[in-house]
Structure 1
Amino acid sequence: MQADKRYAVVAVASSAGGITALGAVLGGLPAGFAVPVLIVQHLDPRHDTVLAHVLARRARLPVKLAEAGELARPGTVYVAPPNRHLVVGAAGLLALADSEPVHFVRPSADVLFESVAGVYGARAIACVLSGTGKDGARGVSAVKARGGTVLAQDPESADFPGMPQAAVATGMVDLVLPLDEIAPAVVRLVTPAAR
């Protein structure tokens, strides 16, 4: 059975317009989803966030703020807390880093995607949703270089097209999809029976 499970993690990044997009994607993932979902959403670093609670209303999966030292478990959504980079280490152990902002943001999609690429290689899926700027573009290149799969929201369907456009411009995106097609595509990739 394990041999059928090519993918082991889904990492998702968004910024402006991302909360709506994240809600749509998470709402399309089934209960008992076979892999962990790691999320970077650019947040105001000066305030606590209720993002996990907001997304939990749309999701059939448990959604929580990521904590340092916890294991990324299948079927759970982990959201990077404000002002901390979310990094995944060996065996799916999560870490939170205070290292310098990347593209002026912390948490950064590039930091998450690069760590996912290093740990999971070809078993990683990275997805870039609505947002401004180019955070995530370097990270999707890292995921693709290690044999992973990259999805981006069609910039035409994004409230803010900057991040998905930057990802697509790398030439490393496998699927460019309207928002409502992203979750079904992720489910098909992760769940062989859904193909």
Structure 2
Amino acid sequence: MNAVHAKVHADVLAGRRIDAVVIGASAGGIDALLRILPALPKNFGFSVTVVLHLPDDRDSRLAEVFQQHLAMPVRQADDKMTVQAGRVYFAPPGYHLSVERDFSFSLSQEDPVHFSRPAIDILMESAADAWGQRLLGILLTGASADGAVGMARIAACGGLTVVQDPKDAEIATMPSAAIRLRAPDLVLPVPAIRALMTAMMENQ
């Protein structure tokens, strides 16, 4: 992490309590996530919940694949499962994933949003309502506008919002849509997002 990024991270995290992280990504997202999540230590003290756009008609092996690269436990989120710190959760295919006010997951099969189920917006909006200002939302590369409304809700609830720099994204559509709708707290390339998440450990 360079000195500029270190100062930005220290400033944005100063005095802020983060309990949970939600991440949205679509096309190019697996590569971006594989550059971010493996850097997190086993004792990372926050939950991380990810929606990655997936085909509805096949099982997901994301949890299994990412577990091979991560020190943290990785799970596929399930209905009524309690969100726990120190774990990474992936949304299952074919279901929208929400977080309830009691910090448990809820699955539903409502209509797709931006042609996607799971939809990033649904996770982020519900997580913003659950955690409020204690939430960090991260939006990465993708080819739709999904996530823009969710990031705006996180910001409106006082949470911290980070969008991948469109110039750094494999596909800039998703981060660009979020930036146009509401300016995020930070616009960062993937290495700086990874550094921000590891810097969070110092603020636990």
Q: TM-score, normalised by structure 1?
A: 0.93
**Residue 93 of structure 1: aligned partner:** 104
State the AA in 2 paired with 1:84: Y
Unmatched 5+ stretches in structure 1: none
| 1:164-183 equivalent positions in 2, closer than 5 A | 164-183=175-194
**Residue 44 of structure 2: aligned partner:** 33
- 2:55 aligned with 1:44, yes or no? yes
* SS of equivalent residue, structure 1 residue 75: coil
Q: 1:103 to 1:155 in 2, by over 3 A?
A: same
**2-side partners of 1:150 and 1:109: how far apart?**
14
| 1:5-44 equivalent positions in 2, closer than 5 A | 6-44=17-55
**Residue 171 of structure 2: aligned partner:** 160
| 1:132-147 equivalent positions in 2, closer than 5 A | 132-147=143-158
State the AA in 1 paired with 2:126: S
* SS of equivalent residue, structure 1 residue 7: coil
Unmatched 5+ stretches in structure 2: 1-14
Asked if structure 2 preserves the Cα contact closer than 8 Å seen for 1:8 and 1:124, the reply is yes
| Deviation of the 1:41 alpha carbon | 0.2
State the AA in 2 paired with 1:13: G
How many residue pairs match? The answer is 190
State the AA in 1 paired with 2:67: A
Match of 1:81 among 92, 110, 125: 92
* SS of equivalent residue, structure 1 residue 22: helix
Greater than 4 Å deviation, 4+ residue runs: none
| Deviation of the 1:72 alpha carbon | 0.6
Asked if structure 1 preserves the Cα contact closer than 8 Å seen for 2:101 and 2:129, the reply is no
State the AA in 1 paired with 2:179: V
Q: TM-score, normalised by structure 2?
A: 0.89
Deviates more, 1:90-99 or 1:112-121: 90-99
Asked if structure 2 preserves the Cα contact closer than 8 Å seen for 1:8 and 1:120, the reply is yes
| RMSD, matched Cα | 1.4
Q: Percent identity?
A: 37
**1-side partners of 2:76 and 2:117: how far apart?**
15
Q: 1:147 to 1:165 in 2, by over 3 A?
A: same
